[in-house]
Amino acid sequence: MRPRREAPILHAPDPIGTAVRRTLHAAVLAAALLATPRAPAEPEAAGPVTGLQLLGRCVLARDLTVDGTVVGGLSGLAYDREADRYWALSDDRGARGYARAYRLRIDPNPTADGARLDAGSVTVEAVHRLLDLEGRPFPPAGLDPEGIAKAPDGFYLSSEGVSKNGIPAFVAKLGPDGRVVRQLPLPARYLPGDGRGVRDNLGFESLALTPDRSVLFAGLENALEQDGPAASPGTRSPARILRFDLARGARLAEYVYPVEPVSASSTSPDGILLNGLSDLLPLDGERLLALERQYVEGVGNSVRVYEVSLEGATDVSALDSLSATEWTPAKKSLLLDLAELGIPPANFEGMTFGPVLPDGRQSLVLVTDDNFNPRQEATTFVLLALDRTPVTVSRIQGAGHRSPLEGRWVTGVAGTVTALDEDKRSPGFWMESREPDADARTSEGLRVTCPAGMLPRAGQAVLLSGFVEEAAQGKGLPVTRLRATRVDASGPAPALPPPVSLFDVLPVPSRVDDDGLTAFEPGQDAVDLWESLEGMRVRVPGGTVVGPTASYGELALLPDGVPAGARTGAGGLLFSPGDPLVEPVRMGRKLAGKVPDLDVGSRLAGPIEGVVDYDFSSYKVLPVSPLAVASEASAGEATTSLAGDARRLTIATFNVENLSVAGDPARFGQLGEVISRRLCGPDVLALEEVQDDSGRTAGDGVVSSRATLDALVGGIAAAGGPRYEAVWIDPVPDREGGQPGGNIRVALLLRSGRVELVRRGSAGPLDATEPLGEGRDLHLGLSPGRVAPRSAAFDLTEGEGVRRSLAVELRFAGKPLFVVVNHWSSKSDDDRPYGGTQPPRAPTAARRLAQAREVRGFAERLLRADPRARVVVLGDLNDTERSEPVRHLSALPFENLVLRVPEAARYSFNFGGVSALLDHVVVSPELSREAEVEVVHVNADRADSRRSSDHDPVVARLLVR
């Protein structure tokens, strides 16, 4: 196939007489056969088909005419390798013109990975009249041309005949001028008769030459009348394939091709149901490609390509009927279902090889027969690339993050099943190659998805066919998978090579990536090393649990011997932005069935064997057997030592993780215990992630959290804690982030008898409060009120919504106190460390910085009005103490009290095995003197099953003078 070029159509409508046109046609066609340089021939017997890839489609104009004929009804297709042209046979029986074939030029557009068929890639150059033995035009309805094959000295043609009119089917040799030279011999059993012969419109549909042109194959669409039934639901049809020796002009053999049953029922009681063999294409003398096309009225078409082997099939040429005799049909295996490629199923009837593509693969072209029906899709050509290079697991994986075979159907992929995934939502398995290649950059493991009924057993040898795809989740990297359409499992496979020993033998680089994923360097970039092991078995040393067991059955492990930076007092891993990222190994339950509920500091015995997987933007190891616990830590037992008195106020911040009365009622008891016993009933408690009273039910109109906060106040009292008054402002519905429909907001609990709310006005979600007055007259215009609620910092037009900050004026021991509660933008819209974008982008940092500026400006206005104002800004800021937003907020003269916490205890959240501080308490100078602060570790280190929230609370004790 050459680059596309413009060329005129040789025979457009013209006033030249028929006889003149015939002479012109013959001259042009003869010249075309002799004058054009040879194009690359299709390969001879070069091994079985191992893959197919779609390279595009081209739809012809429905009203396209050439030499007064409508281009349509294309039922056969052949490639003229000497002239680099194609011949398409029209099955028009004479209703729209004479019997004819069209000469085509197909010029795909060159692309970086080969070629692509697009609109305009197919040009109809000429029309060619077909003539009988006497050189006369075939009379109307005198034949039904269906199959065509191109020989150097002319053509071969097959006609289904018109059985209902007694017109027999035939296979004939045609000269370059389109005239029948001779008919090939057919047994009498093919002649139409009473209960025997070729069925009407189900005769010789397919015709093709072997690559060396020594053998011609002709195939029936369905069985002869005497051989068996036509294809129907639940019933195959034994169609015959004839093999002709062209040197002798004799029939060599006949074989049975089993046409698949019709796979659906019509929506109409008398609707059309058919499936048939539409075309054949020999790979060599024993193996062929077969095109099966099905049509069910009310359902539509489906089209499949099979590979067929005649080896071992019975030669039935001596049998006039198949119905009373035993015979062995040809073997067939599915290569491609066109629907899997996103091609609209249509009436595909023609198939031929084209030239070899620039990348060495064989081109394969299919064409539809539009039946001259305006309700059908117009004539469509599809270009595929056919691969004969053996497909191995490592070839599918390739040396990179995307498979070089992505988008292709492959077959003959061999391996051993290493683990099963029996999840009903996405069943499948992992397999490994038994014969690894010599390239350490290519993984030898592969994730395979398939229907549950196709699952093999672990340890079995399998041979697979299916579709190579890259599955990506959100911002994550793609995961190479094979979506299997066929799984041939045999007995136990020979032993595989041992698993790869990670960390102790094969080190994992400490940096994720340094080249933006432009170079694949497993020895230098951790993201590339993990990719080179995707789907493989690995062995990991035992170590320390640094990420507690999550509710979805995953924990994070720091293997022994891995260099690590600062550690927490519980044995966790502290986030340190200046150090190379040490990514703990995440371990999931998918294969072992359960991961034990473990807290940070627990120990796992090793080695641990598992399969490398990637999910939710993280690589992980899926243990193939239950984890062995060497020792179990008990974390999260802290209690604050800070209690209030007549001059000292205790204030805390606590993210209560999507709390709603619509959720688990036991949580209110858990939180009540923590607040009353572990936090010792602080005077002021700032809350984040309080949902509305219907929880995450979107669109129900519920926004209030009164019942939820009442239930929390009740839970604290039930645990022996003090009584509290709840203060909050309902948010703008569905605009402040969190779980959809949850309408999370910030709130305050004020301990009755210790703290008094100075209430002014009745603010709504967009009502801003501002400092008024100076010195001792300083007060808030609205209390409670919002801080800059209409600012762009809090009114996001993209990404996750953000909670608007809540400002209140309080009195403690007769003195005013100004408190601002915050829950800034989360990092959910940021790229992940092992995500698909390197280096990771952090768009939410700018959002938090904008929010920090608004809140900082509010606090500064308080201090300008009264330099001795008592101001506390606290909450879940969703960023660490060294981040720009938090540093901006807490710059002098303010102080972030959590920096007084010893480093080993300075964390309030654990994500993926890394502990970090997200919750802060910032105070003005009047409150920083003699201030004390503690992070009370009751949650972050604990397994989900034993925690009350995913954050630890932070408690401060402030001297109020």
Q: Is residue 2 part of a domain?
A: no
For residue 113, the model assigns a pLDDT of 72
Q: What is the pLDDT of residues 762-772, one digit of tens each?
A: 999 999 999 99
Q: Is residue 607 part of a domain?
A: yes
Residue whose token pair is 């009379």? 139
Q: What does the mean pLDDT of the chain come to?
A: 92
Within this chain, do residues 311 and 399 fall inside the same structural domain, yes or no? no
Give the pLDDT band of residue 578 (cuts 50, 70, 90): low
Residue whose token pair is 């042009």? 28
Q: Which residue has the higher pLDDT, 709 or 248?
A: 709
Within this chain, do residues 792 and 660 fall inside the same structural domain, yes or no? yes
Is the pLDDT assigned to residue 29 strictly greater than 70? Answer: no
For residue 423, the model assigns a pLDDT of 86
pTM of the model: 0.84
Give the pLDDT band of residue 580 (cuts 50, 70, 90): low
Q: What is the pLDDT of residues 120-165, one digit of tens each?
A: 999 999 999 999 999 999 998 888 999 999 999 999 999 999 888 8
Q: What is the pLDDT of residues 305-336, one digit of tens each?
A: 999 999 999 999 999 999 888 999 999 988 88
Q: Residue 284 sits in a domain of what CATH number?
A: 2.115.10
Within this chain, do residues 652 and 599 fall inside the same structural domain, yes or no? no
CA angle 106, 112, 114 (to 5 degrees): 40
Tell which residue, 76, 320, 326, has the closest CA to residue 195: 320
Q: Is residue 364 part of a domain?
A: yes
Within this chain, do residues 860 and 922 fall inside the same structural domain, yes or no? yes
* b/e per residue 262-293 (b: at least 16 CB within 10 A): bebebeeeeeebbbbbbbbbbbbbbbbbbbbb
Tell which residue, 129, 110, 131, has the closest CA to residue 121: 110
Within this chain, do residues 415 and 512 fall inside the same structural domain, yes or no? no
The sign of the CA dihedral 130, 132, 135, 139 is negative
Last residue of a domain, one of 355, 387, 419: 387
Q: At what angle do helices 666-673 and 706-718 cross, to 10 degrees?
A: 50
Within this chain, do residues 517 and 544 fall inside the same structural domain, yes or no? yes
For residue 435, the model assigns a pLDDT of 86
Phi, psi of 306 (to 5 degrees): -115, 155
For residue 132, the model assigns a pLDDT of 95
Q: Residue 569 sits in a domain of what CATH number?
A: 2.40.50
Within this chain, do residues 588 and 672 fall inside the same structural domain, yes or no? no
Q: Is residue 313 part of a domain?
A: yes
Cα distances (angstroms) measured from residue 357 to each of 3, 87, 425: 12, 19, 39
Last residue of a domain, one of 445, 463, 492: 492
Q: What is the pLDDT of residues 870-922, one digit of tens each?
A: 999 999 999 999 999 999 999 999 999 999 999 999 999 999 999 999 999 99
| Residue 905 DSSP code | G
Q: Is residue 732 part of a domain?
A: yes
* b/e per residue 369-379 (b: at least 16 CB within 10 A): bbebeeebebb
Q: Which residue has the higher pLDDT, 476 or 42?
A: 476
Is the pLDDT assigned to residue 19 strictly greater than 50? Answer: no
Within this chain, do residues 42 and 104 fall inside the same structural domain, yes or no? yes
For residue 108, the model assigns a pLDDT of 95
Parallel, antiparallel or unpaired: strands 445-449 and 500-501: unpaired
Q: Identify the three-state secondary structure at position 349.
A: strand
Give the pLDDT band of residue 33 (cuts 50, 70, 90): very low
Cα distances (angstroms) measured from residue 628 to each of 117, 912, 934: 56, 20, 35
Give the pLDDT band of residue 41 (cuts 50, 70, 90): very low
Parallel, antiparallel or unpaired: strands 914-916 and 573-574: parallel
> How far apart (Å, rounded) are the C-alpha atoms in residues 809 and 804?
17
**Element containing residue 863 per DSSP (H, E):** helix 843-865
Q: What is the pLDDT of residues 288-307, one digit of tens each?
A: 999 999 999 999 999 999 99
**Element containing residue 707 per DSSP (H, E):** helix 706-718
Q: Residue 443 sits in a domain of what CATH number?
A: 2.40.50.140
Within this chain, do residues 70 and 210 fall inside the same structural domain, yes or no? yes
Is the pLDDT assigned to residue 95 strictly greater than 90? Answer: no
Within this chain, do residues 769 and 823 fall inside the same structural domain, yes or no? yes
For residue 797, the model assigns a pLDDT of 67
Q: Which domain holds residue 430?
A: 393-492
Is the pLDDT assigned to residue 924 strictly greater than 80? Answer: yes
> How far apart (Å, rounded) are the C-alpha atoms in residues 373 and 532?
52
Within this chain, do residues 918 and 792 fall inside the same structural domain, yes or no? yes
Q: What is the pLDDT of residues 397-435, one digit of tens each?
A: 999 999 999 989 898 999 999 999 988 888 999 999 988
Looking at the chain, the whole-number percentage of residues with pLDDT higher than 70 is 94
Within this chain, do residues 438 and 339 fall inside the same structural domain, yes or no? no
Provide the domain count of the chain. Answer: 4
Contact call for residues 789 and 858 (beta carbons, < 8 A)? no
Q: Is residue 6 part of a domain?
A: no
Is the pLDDT assigned to residue 38 strictly greater than 70? Answer: no
Q: Is residue 283 part of a domain?
A: yes
Last residue of a domain, one of 362, 387, 412: 387
